[in-house]
Chains A and B, each alone.
Chain A
Amino acid sequence: MSPQAASAPIGRRPGRVDGGEARPRREHQRDQHGVQRPRLRVVDDSNLRLAARRKRVRFLGVVAAVVVVASLFGLAAFQAVLVQGQVRVDTLANQMAEEQAHYQQLRREVAELESPQRVVDEAVGRLGMVKPDRVEYLTPPEGATSIGDRHPSVSDDTSHGERPWASVKPFLGAGS
């Protein structure tokens, strides 16, 4: 091996054209057996790895920056959505309170409309109804089932009301 070839500058490709110089002819050397071979050298690849790493780092840096920026935007957007949602929740809560109050007022109105005094006033004053002088009883024909056996009495749980308790209660105090 010629000392010239051995001391070729690192990183410089053989045969590379620098400036306006003519491309040198590929040199060959002969080995100990006299066979002609191209001139070879060991290439130090650490520079290549470094460059690749730099490229990777740069790429990762860019990706990280994009992710950070995107996260910030996402966070801001999420916060905006959250605030919007909270405003909506507040609005609905206010609306619910108003509706609840309205419901309670309606309950009161219904109860007042159903009060015995109002019913009597309406019946007598507006509809002209009068109280009967006496109660008329209808006697069932003989052989009919005795009404005394099956008739609801005061001791019955639901008494005379049309609405048993269980059907009334679910509508009371809703939401409170």
Chain B
Amino acid sequence: MPSIGISTLDRRRPPTPRRPPTGCAGDPAKRSIALLVVVLVLLGAIAARTGYLQVVASDDYVAAGLRQRITPIALPADRGSIFDRNGDELAMSVPSTTVWADPLQVVHPQEAANVLAPVLEADPVAIEAALRTKGRFVYVKRQLTPEMGTRVAALFRDITMDDKGKPRHDHPLKGVFLRDEPTRVRPAGDLARALLGGVDPDGRGYAGLEDQYDKPLLGTPGELLIERDLKGNTIAAGEQRLNPALRGADLVLTVDRSLQYEVERVLGDAVASSQAKGAMAVVMNPRTGEVLAMANMTAGRDGAPPVPAGSNAALVSTFEPGSVNKIVTMAAAIEEGVHKPTDVLVVPDRLPVSVHTFSDHDPHGPMSWTLADILSQSSNVGTIMVAQELGATRVDEYLRKFGLSSFTGLDFPKESRGSMLDLSEWNGTSIGSIPIGQGVAVNAMQMLGAFNIIANKGVAIPPRLVRATVDGQGVEKLTRPGGSRKVISEATAQEVTRMLVRAVADGTGDKARIDRYTVAGKTGTARKPSVTSRGYVEGAYMASFAGFVPAENPQLSAIVVIDEPVGGIYGGQIAAPVFAQISQYALRLLRIPPPPGPAGAPR
């Protein structure tokens, strides 16, 4: 029934507005609270993150920020120069251009290689291979010559900049860069090459004086920290910290560049004319121990002219000194009172000692010779007779006193101390061989040191190669000479000097004579010991001459050693003239005047 239906409808409650789904969102208050909670949570998260950034990790982020803005610029320390005694450069460091690449940034390796190769005078394939290597840094070519550096800089300008001087974004050399790098140069070429040694591309000395004095020469690298913007411009009033590089100390050698040149030139001529394997010479001031020149020449390959050797044989290599060693025996005999220079000995030309018979160079009958005659004639037999009277112990003692088998004190890298048998190891023939310079190995510097003792009135003065160091501020520090020691008396030294003067005036060393000067010296000719077997190399000799001048007042001493000359093999023939040539030049260069009056006997 409709009425029922109507009444039913009427009884219904009026419809209430539809409510949204129950929950917090439905209630504005709850919604606000929820929103507040969300906001608070977000704010809390932000606060926590801020606290973490500002408090916990602040240092890391500050550092990261600085790393982004601050560009560290390495300031390489200039390696100190090496000067001769007059301040002329023998070795110096100059800036040069180095080409390097970041292979990750290189976009066109082949194109870049083709562009660079002609300018760098290098193989494009090798350059391309370098540009394709993995990693962030590779050298393309280091330490270019000034001319090449200029050409490369121009090439970079042309390729990386447009006509208006603005950088191009895409170019073949993308990822390839230039940087300045110091390079070591020797303005006088290979002069004193073995003495100076070498420096590797990283500026570290690896041989010679460059190696020995690497630490003071090196200096201390510095750093400049600059804050830069995105474009690479320095931010004004930004961070700037300068830790300046300290230049390495300079070395001032005792060597004279002009003399060194002349010694090398004369030695080169001697090597060429005697077809020798090489030659070495040392020139010194016996009074101060200063080395004025130290030259090592070696024969050129395939008939090329001789060139300065890579190894400083005068200190590094040893040889049997031969007859130049006889001065030690004579000095010992006189010092010990065994003989006076005027004592006469009857000297045969052959003398058996144990199982070996020693002989003089030229056959002769028994000769009545004084000690001076024995030395001037370079008689092996006479010297052995004197040594036998002296006895093995004293011969050994004086050889060591004269500096044989001891380091010279120069501390040169790879310096040889020579070799001498211990007295207990002597055999029956040692008293015959060792006094005449066989079975003993010395370097040229040691042998010249023995002559310097005679020249210096019996006093041994340690040699010096470095006169001073000059620090980065220009303060010169003279190297302290080593202590001197008395080896023989002045009287003995003078007696031996007279004997040496005779050896040059009318003995085997007559080709060492110098007009108007009195030369004291001794020749030496020794066989070369075999390095592969016992005994000596057939036909291989070391010809030498050592001496000093003026004998009256020695200011210059020198030793010349010719390695394996062909034809004339005697020291008197080929080493003595070289000594004369070198000494004559040195006397004039160093302004050592001839003694007044006629040259001849020393006073």
Interface residue SS majority, chain B: loop
User: 8 Å CB contacts to B: which residues of A71-98?
Assistant: 79, 82-83, 85-87, 89-90
B237 contacts which chain A residues (CB < 8 A)?
Answer: 82, 86
B95 contacts which chain A residues (CB < 8 A)?
Answer: 100-101, 104-105
Which of A14-22, A48-56, A62-70, A157-165 lies at the interface with chain B? A157-165
B590 contacts which chain A residues (CB < 8 A)?
Answer: 153-154, 159-160
Would you call B14 an interface residue if the criterion is a C-beta within 8 Å of the partner chain's C-beta atoms? no
Q: Given A159-B85, A169-B474, verify A134-B515 contact (CB < 8 Å).
A: yes
B584 contacts which chain A residues (CB < 8 A)?
Answer: 135
Q: Count chain B CB atoms within 10 A of each CB in A85, A153, A166 and give the residue with the most.
A: A153
Would you call A172 an interface residue if the criterion is a C-beta within 8 Å of the partner chain's C-beta atoms? yes
Would you call B593 an interface residue if the criterion is a C-beta within 8 Å of the partner chain's C-beta atoms? yes
Contact check, B146 vs A105: say whether CB atoms are below 8 A apart: yes
Which residue of the partner chain B has the closest CB to A139?
B596
B500 to chain A, nearest CB (A): 20
B88 contacts which chain A residues (CB < 8 A)?
Answer: 111, 114, 161
Contact check, A163 vs B92: say whether CB atoms are below 8 A apart: no
Report the separation of the CA atoms of residues A159 and B593 in the bound assembly, to the nearest whole angstrom.
14
Report the separation of the CA atoms of residues A89 and B516 in the bound assembly, to the nearest whole angstrom.
66
B311 contacts which chain A residues (CB < 8 A)?
Answer: none
Report the separation of the CA atoms of residues A141 and B492 in the bound assembly, to the nearest whole angstrom.
36
Would you call A148 an interface residue if the criterion is a C-beta within 8 Å of the partner chain's C-beta atoms? yes
Report the separation of the CA atoms of residues A108 and B287 in the bound assembly, to the nearest whole angstrom.
34
Report the separation of the CA atoms of residues A71 and B19 in the bound assembly, to the nearest whole angstrom.
61
Would you call B498 an interface residue if the criterion is a C-beta within 8 Å of the partner chain's C-beta atoms? no
User: 8 Å CB contacts to A: which residues of B557-603?
Assistant: 584, 588-596
Q: Given A108-B187, A115-B189, verify A169-B476 contact (CB < 8 Å).
A: yes
Which residues does B use to contact A, with CB under 8 Å? 78, 81, 83, 85-89, 92, 94-95, 146, 180, 185, 187-189, 191, 233-237, 245, 247, 250, 252, 256-258, 261-262, 285, 287-288, 290, 292, 468, 470, 472, 474, 476, 515-516, 555-556, 584, 588-596
Contact check, A154 vs B292: say whether CB atoms are below 8 A apart: yes
Contact check, B87 vs A161: say whether CB atoms are below 8 A apart: yes
A90 to chain B, nearest CB (A): 5
Contact check, B591 vs A172: say whether CB atoms are below 8 A apart: no
Which residue of the partner chain A has the closest CB to B95?
A101
Contact check, A117 vs B86: say whether CB atoms are below 8 A apart: no
Contact of A116 among B261, B470, B516, B555 (CB under 8 A): B261
Would you call A126 an interface residue if the criterion is a C-beta within 8 Å of the partner chain's C-beta atoms? no
A140 to chain B, nearest CB (A): 9
The 6 closest A-B CB pairs, nearest first, are A161-B86, A111-B187, A116-B261, A86-B236, A168-B87, A115-B188
Contact check, B180 vs A155: say whether CB atoms are below 8 A apart: no
A114 to chain B, nearest CB (A): 6
Contact of B86 among A134, A135, A159 (CB under 8 A): A159
Contact check, A153 vs B233: say whether CB atoms are below 8 A apart: no
Contact check, A79 vs B257: say whether CB atoms are below 8 A apart: no
Report the separation of the CA atoms of residues A176 and B437 in the bound assembly, to the nearest whole angstrom.
52
Contact check, B247 vs A176: say whether CB atoms are below 8 A apart: yes
Would you call A122 an interface residue if the criterion is a C-beta within 8 Å of the partner chain's C-beta atoms? no
B191 contacts which chain A residues (CB < 8 A)?
Answer: 115-117
B233 contacts which chain A residues (CB < 8 A)?
Answer: 86-87, 90
A134 contacts which chain B residues (CB < 8 A)?
Answer: 515
Q: Given A172-B81, A173-B247, verify A160-B515 contact (CB < 8 Å).
A: no
Report the separation of the CA atoms of residues A116 and B290 in the bound assembly, to the nearest whole angstrom.
21
Report the separation of the CA atoms of residues A160 and B191 in the bound assembly, to the nearest whole angstrom.
19
User: 8 Å CB contacts to B: which residues of A96-136?
Assistant: 100-101, 104-105, 107-108, 111-112, 114-117, 120, 134-135
Q: Given A79-B236, A107-B94, A159-B590, verify A116-B595 contact (CB < 8 Å).
A: no
A152 contacts which chain B residues (CB < 8 A)?
Answer: 591
A149 to chain B, nearest CB (A): 10
Contact check, B236 vs A83: say whether CB atoms are below 8 A apart: yes
Which residue of the partner chain B has the closest CB to A118?
B188
